[in-house]
């Protein structure tokens, strides 16, 4: 009996002790399980990857939205492209003008820099105004002249070149600039330069170049003229004419205005004369061997009495003036500079009428732009005969006033 009691007591005490321990362990185990469950739930929400189906559907939706946006952009681009195609002439013209403006500013800066480097002061006339205030002109007419041509200049002033205030009014109202073009003598500041300065003070109609005058330097003078005129005036066309040629300015302006929409135009009486290899003859070509066999002819180029080039070509000359080759004949040089370029050559015979036929052409309503004698490469004895040619072949004093370009 006592043995059984002892066994039960011992067993009961053991069970009771075990139960107490079990009760504590289960309690803490239960709490730990709840804590781990909560932590696992939180962890799985943040880190557990989405099901592939959900990812695929979400990516598909994103791709669909992207395709929709791209489609809208493409449609918009197509509309814009078609609109630009329809507007392409205006767009191209605007782009050409922008490029030309930038080239003009570059050329002006280069010209000013070269003058400073060479030690030549930049005159007030050569100082280029800001582009924003620079007005647009139809044409700049440069009348090539020499130190000993005072009587020729006076004959031009008395006939087809408006004087003083009329000339300034022509610039403002019609956009036509006219200047006698001359450089300086081999001794700057000498008697020849002082005579030109006095004449300039009286008439105010000269464009002075940083160039040494000389007959064999006409090609260099031509480059200098176009570069300087391009830097000073923003014009559609730049014209070179000799001081022994009669010009109808209104007719010239109307003729050039026809080609305003064409970017690279070279206008004149085109010719292709023989290359003269024999020394001592007029217009001898020292570099005749470059043109092939003896007896060959030059490429097509405008005769030197009068020609006109568009703004883009003047810009090309200005930018590349240091590398453009000079032949002894300036009209050949000018034509050579445009070889290899996409230039339209316009052969206009009204720019080289004879003084014997300009009168009846004017009476027939086919007014000549320029008139001269081929035998003299200008009007023979022009200082004396210019008034007579103007009377017979001139367009009249009111032509410029009534002209609209």
Q: Where are the domains of the chain?
A: 137-402
Q: Which residue has the tokens 């004698």?
A: 373
Sign of the dihedral through C-alpha 183, 189, 192, 196: positive
For residue 391, give both structure tokens. Answer: 């009377």
The 10 Å Cβ neighbour count of residue 101 is: 15
For the chain, 405 residues long, give each residue's pLDDT as a single digit of tens. Answer: 444 444 444 444 444 444 444 445 666 666 676 776 666 655 555 444 444 444 445 555 555 554 454 445 545 444 444 455 445 556 665 666 666 566 656 655 665 555 444 444 444 444 444 444 578 999 999 999 999 999 999 999 999 999 989 999 999 999 999 999 999 999 988 999 999 999 999 999 999 999 999 888 999 999 999 999 999 999 999 999 999 999 999 999 999 999 999 999 999 999 999 999 989 888 899 999 999 988 899 999 999 999 999 999 999 999 999 999 999 999 999 999 999 999 999 999 999 999 999 999 998 989 999 999 999 999 999 999 999 999 999 998 889 988 888
CB-based contact 285:275 (threshold 8 Å): yes
What pLDDT does 231 receive?
A: 96
Q: And the tokens for 4?
A: 């059984």
Q: According to the 3-state scheme, what is the secondary structure of 215-254?
A: HHHHHHHHHHHHHHHHHHCEEEEEEEEECCCEECHHHHHH
Is residue 128 within 8 Å of residue 395, measured between CB atoms? no
Helix 150-157 vs helix 191-203: crossing angle, to nearest 10: 10
Return the structure tokens found at 263.
């970017």
Q: Which CATH class for the 137-402 domain?
A: alpha beta
Could you tell me which residues are beta bridge partners of residue 180?
Answer: 143, 206
User: What are the tokens at 54?
Assistant: 């959900």
SS3 287: coil
What is residue 22's predicted lDDT score, i.e. its pLDDT? 46
Which helix H or strand E contains 163, and what residues bound it? Answer: none
- Write down the pLDDT at residue 96: 62
């Amino acid at each position: 009996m006592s043995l059984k009691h002892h066994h039960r007591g011992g067993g009961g005490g053991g069970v009771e002790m075990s139960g107490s321990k079990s009760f504590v362990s289960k309690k803490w185990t239960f709490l730990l399980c709840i804590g781990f469950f909560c932590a696992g739930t939180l962890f799985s929400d943040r880190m557990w990857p989405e099901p592939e189906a959900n990812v695929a559907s979400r990516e598909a939706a994103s791709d669909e939205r992207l395709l929709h946006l791209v489609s809208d952009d493409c449609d918009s681009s197509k509309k814009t492209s078609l609109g630009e195609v329809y507007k392409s002439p205006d767009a191209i013209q605007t782009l050409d003008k922008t490029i030309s403006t930038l080239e003009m500013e570059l050329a002006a800066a280069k010209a000013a820099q070269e003058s400073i480097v060479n030690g030549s002061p930049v005159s007030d006339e050569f100082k280029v105004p800001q582009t924003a205030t620079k007005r647009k002109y139809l044409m700049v007419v440069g009348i090539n002249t020499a130190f000993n041509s005072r009587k020729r200049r006076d004959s031009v002033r008395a006939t087809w070149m408006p004087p003083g205030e009329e000339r300034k009014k022509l610039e403002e109202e019609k956009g036509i600039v006219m200047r006698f073009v001359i450089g300086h003598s081999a001794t700057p500041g000498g008697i020849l330069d002082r005579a030109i300065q006095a004449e300039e003070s009286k008439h105010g109609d000269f464009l002075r170049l940083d160039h040494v005058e000389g007959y064999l330097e006409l090609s260099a003078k031509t480059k200098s003229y176009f570069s300087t005129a391009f830097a000073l005036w923003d014009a559609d066309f730049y014209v070179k004419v000799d001081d022994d040629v009669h010009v109808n300015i209104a007719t010239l302006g109307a003729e050039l205005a026809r080609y305003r929409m064409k970017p690279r135009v070279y206008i004149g009486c085109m010719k292709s004369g023989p290359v003269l290899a024999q020394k001592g003859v007029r217009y001898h070509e020292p570099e005749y061997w470059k043109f092939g066999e003896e007896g060959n002819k030059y490429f097509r180029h405008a005769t030197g009495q009068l020609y006109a080039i568009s703004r883009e070509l003047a810009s090309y000359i200005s930018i590349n003036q240091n590398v453009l080759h000079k032949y002894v004949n300036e009209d050949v040089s000018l034509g050579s500079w445009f070889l290899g370029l996409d230039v339209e050559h316009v052969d206009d015979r009204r720019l080289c009428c004879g003084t014997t036929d300009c009168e009846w052409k004017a009476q027939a309503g086919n007014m000549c732009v320029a008139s001269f004698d081929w035998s003299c490469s200008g009007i023979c004895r022009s200082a004396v005969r210019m008034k007579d040619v103007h009377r017979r072949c001139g367009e009249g004093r009111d032509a410029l006033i009534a002209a609209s370009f």
